[in-house]
Amino acid sequence: METEHTLYYICKYTPLELLEGLGAHTKAWNDMPAGFGRSEQLLGSNICGFGKALLDACLSGQIHELVLTSCCDTIRSLADVLRAEGTLDFLYLLDVPHREDDCSVDRFARELRRLMEAYETYSGRILSRERFLAALQKSNGAAAENGRREGCSAVPGQTSGPYLSVLGGRMGEQLFAQTAEAMPLPLANHTCVAGRTLPAGFLSGLPAAASPDDALLRWYAGVLLRQLPCMRMVDRTGRKPLFNDPNLRGIVYHTIRFCDYYSFEYSEVKTHPDIPLLKIETDYTRSSGGQLQTRLEAFAEEIQSTESARHHHAGQNAAHQPRTQTAYFAGIDSGSTSTDVVILDGTGRIIGRTVIPTGAGARISADKALQQALRETNLRREDIRRVVSTGYGRAAIQDSDQSITEITCHAKGAHFLDPSVRCVIDIGGQDSKVIVLDESGQVAGFVMNDKCAAGTGRFLEMMAGTMEMSLDEISRHGLKYREDITISSTCTVFAESEVVSLIAENKDTDDIVHGLDKAVASKTASLVARAGGSAPFMMTGGVAKNEGLVRALTKELKSAPIISDMAQLCGALGAALYAAEL
């Protein structure tokens, strides 16, 4: 139960057992807010969202007692700001060494003593050895239970069997619940504070009962520092078991924007070819949830597909079952800009296709597009045996048998159009995606741009607006450039200001558009590299019609992407193919 005297902590190196020995009721703080408040003003915008969320919680009176650790620059700054604000009853910044050698253990023991003395002064209570030992016994029990894998914390309650893991920067409670719900296998949380597990059997080294407090603290400091290391520690080899467990079936790798620690680990993990990996980045607010749902579902589909292959069920699905001539199947791709429908006959032949603007409502547009496709193919709704929906609005479409993410559908569609394709590039209105395919057309991995418009269709749309052009017009310019302008800003807002400056300098429209094409191509090529994509490439989505951009991308990728006349309908096609296989 939370009270005014709940002592909150944020880091797994916090000496919880010692604090409980001092009579504190400890609780990890890991709550994702809907948005940020005064913290934006006090800490600034370009700071890790966790730090801002925690500051808001302190300022709102939600937190009265807090122990921080010197885990990162944001938390150090947070401690400075909180000290200046002076709103907390108890605030302590515990300096944790970056190593676990003997000198560091001695130093940490001194730090623990200082914390202990500060809390004793604040609370008026002194350390109870009995309570401290009881807390240690409790943690020892948890460590034994979780000690299934050597040197690695495990999934609580799961003693064996396949599982997925969340790694990286801390994941708030709400996002973890959302992720766990989307996944087809149990999900373990090994991010930051959630990974707090003292080493298995640590209690066997407990000093004798008569030993002085200093000996006890020194021993305890060593136990804390010997936990599975986080990325701030100098020696991180202890993290390897997190990636090498034979039961591990996939990793959701989470980073928080403006927290740099875990992008370095991600850059290493992503080269691990055996484990499906999903990288997601959030700003630590709940608003990220909706944007991430597509990725989580697509990853779940990828895991299911991998698991099926593992159990030798591949090839036994409906795709290889004979189709009947009389059945028809429809795929609806409800995108942010357009709603597309493809109808297949029982042999897999495309007999109908429609593209209409999405307009105000995904459901209404989907109905309209389907009706239009039916009219054009002289079919009735009851002639369609199954409908699969995909795209951003897929969940809103009631008239479908199943919804599948656009990532899986684009891969399916692209493989159908050209089985040689190994990488699909979809620059959409809301986001950009790069999907890597294996030989059988299954999704082998994918990345999407994070919460930023740079490199998306939206970026081009905004720039077109700045130049008082339509998207169609901007796609026709940029081919006959004379000056090779570089738009250097990666941020959409700054890029817009660069474009305004170029217009003011009277630069030629073709030259500016070429600069914009290069900027999008460069950002896209970065995504391709992050995904590990290789040629042959296929470009899907409406932006594939932009010749200037395609040319710039060809230069970046050193390979011309395949552009099918079905490029815009690739997602709907994939959905229709899945409808035929269900």
Partner 1 sequence: MSAAEFLGTVVEKTNPDHPAASRRILRTGWEVQDYLFQHHPHPESFPADQYLAKFMMDAMLQPLKDPDHSCIVSIFTPCEMVQEAGLHPYNVEGFSCYLSASFAGGICTRKAEQDGISDTLCSYHKTFVGAAMNGLLPKPRCILYTSLACDANLLTFPKLAAYYQVPSFCIDVPADASEDAVAYVRDELVGARRFLEETTGRSIEEDALKARVKRSRESLLAYEQVQRDRADRFVPADLVTPLYSAMTANILLGTPEEERYVRMLQEDLRSALPKRGKHIYWMHTIPFWSDAVKKYFLFQDSAQIVACELAQVCSPDFDTDDPMLGMAQRLVRNAINGPAERRIANGIRHARDARADGVIWFNHWGCRHTLGISRLAKQAFEDAGFPTLLLDGDGCDRAHGGEGQTSTRIGAFLEMLRND
Using CB under 8 A, which of 97, 195, 222, 391 touches partner 1?
A: 97
Question: Site residues for partner 1, window 11-50 (CB under 8 A)?
Answer: 41-44, 46-48
Residue 411's H or E segment, with its range, is helix 406-417
DSSP string for residues in 416-483: HH-TT--EEEEE-SS-EEEEEE-TTS-EEEEEE--S--TTSHHHHHHHHHHTT--HHHHHHSSTT-SS
> Smallest distance, Å, CB 536 to partner 1?
20
Give the one residue of 2, 34, 60, 95 binding partner 1; rule: CB under 8 A: 95
**219 neighbors 205 (Cβ within 8 angstroms):** yes
- Interactions with partner 1, residue window 427-466 (CB under 8 A): none
104 is a site residue for partner 1 (CB under 8 A): yes
What the block records as the tokens of 135 is: 């807390």
Interacting positions 191-220 with partner 1 (CB under 8 A): none
* Span 495-514, contacts to partner 1 by CB under 8 A: 497-498, 501
Distances (CA, A) of 577 to 327, 349, 357, 408, 531: 13, 10, 23, 11, 25
Is 314 in a helix, a strand, or coil?
Answer: coil
Chosen residue from 6, 62, 64, 81 binding partner 1 by CB under 8 A: 81
Count residues near partner 1 (CB under 8 A): 58
The length of the chain is 582
| Closest listed residue to residue 52, CA positions, set 38, 68, 69, 72 | 38
How near is the Cβ of 95 to partner 1 at its closest, in Å? 5
Task: CB nearer to partner 1: give 93 or 154.
Answer: 93
With CB under 8 A as the contact rule, the residue among 1, 84, 209, 210 that binds partner 1 is 84
Q: Is 83 in the site for partner 1 (CB under 8 A)?
A: yes
Task: Say whether residue 263 binds partner 1 (CB under 8 A).
Answer: yes
Segment interacting with partner 1 (CB under 8 A) among 183-191, 266-274, 341-349, 430-438: 266-274
Number of separate helices (H) and strands (E) present in the chain: 19, 17
Q: How far is the CB of 547 from partner 1 (least distance, A)?
A: 24
Specify whether the CB–CB gap between 548 and 479 falls below 8 A: yes
Segment lying near partner 1 (by CB under 8 A), choices 78-86, 215-223, 362-370, 506-514: 78-86
Decide: is 149 part of the binding site for partner 1 (CB under 8 A): no
Q: Which two tokens stand for residue 501?
A: 């400056």
Could you tell me if 495 and 459 are in contact, meaning their C-beta atoms sit under 8 angstroms apart? yes
Contacts of partner 1 in 47-76 (CB under 8 A): 47-48, 51, 70, 72-74, 76
Helices (H), 281-405: 288-310, 362-377
Give the residue, chosen from 258, 299, 416, 578, that forms a contact with partner 1 under the rule CB under 8 A: 258
x-or-dash string of contact with partner 1, 470-489, rule CB under 8 A: ------------------xx
Q: Which is nearer to partner 1, 447 or 579 (CB)?
A: 447
Binding of partner 1 by 126 (CB under 8 A): no
Give the integer Cα–Cα distance in Å for 425 and 431. Answer: 11
CA atoms within 13 A of residue 152's CA, in its CB half-sphere: 21
Answer for the pair 127, 213: CB distance below 8 angstroms, yes or no.
Answer: yes
User: Which positions lie near partner 1, rule CB under 8 A?
Assistant: 41-44, 46-48, 51, 70, 72-74, 76-81, 83-84, 93, 95, 97-99, 103-104, 107, 110, 231-232, 234, 236, 255, 257-261, 263-264, 266-267, 270, 279, 488-491, 494, 497-498, 501, 522, 525-526, 529-530
